[in-house]
Amino acid sequence: SQELEQSPQSLIVQEGKNLTINCTSSKTLYGLYWYKQKYGEGLIFLMMLQKGGEEKSHEKITAKLDEKKQQSSLHITASQPSHAGIYLCGADDGNNRLAFGKGNQVVVIP
Amino acid sequence: NAGVTQTPKFRILKIGQSMTLQCTQDMNHNYMYWYRQDPGMGLKLIYYSVGAGITDKGEVPNGYNVSRSTTEDFPLRLELAAPSQTSVYFCASYGGTGGLEQYFGPGTRLTVT
């Protein structure tokens, strides 16, 4: 089965600083999905990456897919308190199902 | 559209009791999924369905049952609740075309004591 390792498990950043989190797959990535979860709430879809080298941005969040490394990174520029939460990556297992990593917990301090 | 809705939001069960977690989506999605999320463990797939009348086991199906009689509804049944089933349960749906973007419900927080 496909396993996704997310690193770092948790990080604390000061408001205004940049941060990067990573998601590494044990198998070839056919599609990589980033979600954000606030405590006690459901998952909100952020971005989908399907092609090697693909890069997408939304507001201050940029996600990249490195097909050779079987890895995706999510970069947040000038972090704000609204960026705090758990970021989960999910990979398409080829059968219309997503396998998820354990998440990156992000804390933004004023 | 309401999207994916789940009821109840919270529930406390005694060991051995049964309950059904409800999930409804109004997007006419064929694919529906049930996940459980334990602290620090990400999401584990319990059961999923590719359409009305079709269900299949995911990674952690033991202790659960599902049915899919309509496109909209995908209830999850716990027959004999055990403390190991204490978790947060999420339902999700997917349209079946394009990317595998799943839409998630707000979750049900279940405690079994």
Which among A41, A50, A92 is the nearest to B106, CB-wise? A41
* pLDDT at residue A92, as a whole number: 87
A contacts of B102 (beta carbons < 8 Å): 33, 43, 45, 90, 98
Helix (H, G, I), strand (E, B) or coil at A35: strand
* pLDDT at residue A50, as a whole number: 86
Which among B33, B101, B107 is the nearest to A42, CB-wise? B107
CA gap B31, B96 in Å, rounded: 6
CA gap A20, A34 in Å, rounded: 13
Helix (H, G, I), strand (E, B) or coil at B26: coil
| pLDDT band per the 50, 70, 90 thresholds, residue B76 | very high
Neighbour-count burial of A20, counting CB atoms closer than 10 A to its CB (0-12 exposed, 13-18 middle, 19+ buried):
middle
B:38-57 residues touching chain A, CB 8 A cutoff: 40-45, 48, 50
| pLDDT band per the 50, 70, 90 thresholds, residue B95 | confident
| pLDDT band per the 50, 70, 90 thresholds, residue B45 | very high
Cross-chain residue pair B41–A102, CB shorter than 8 Å:
yes
Q: Poorest-confidence range of A75-84, A98-107, B95-104?
A: B95-104
* pLDDT at residue B55, as a whole number: 97
B2/A90: higher pLDDT = A90
* A89 contacts A72 by C-beta, under 8 angstroms: yes
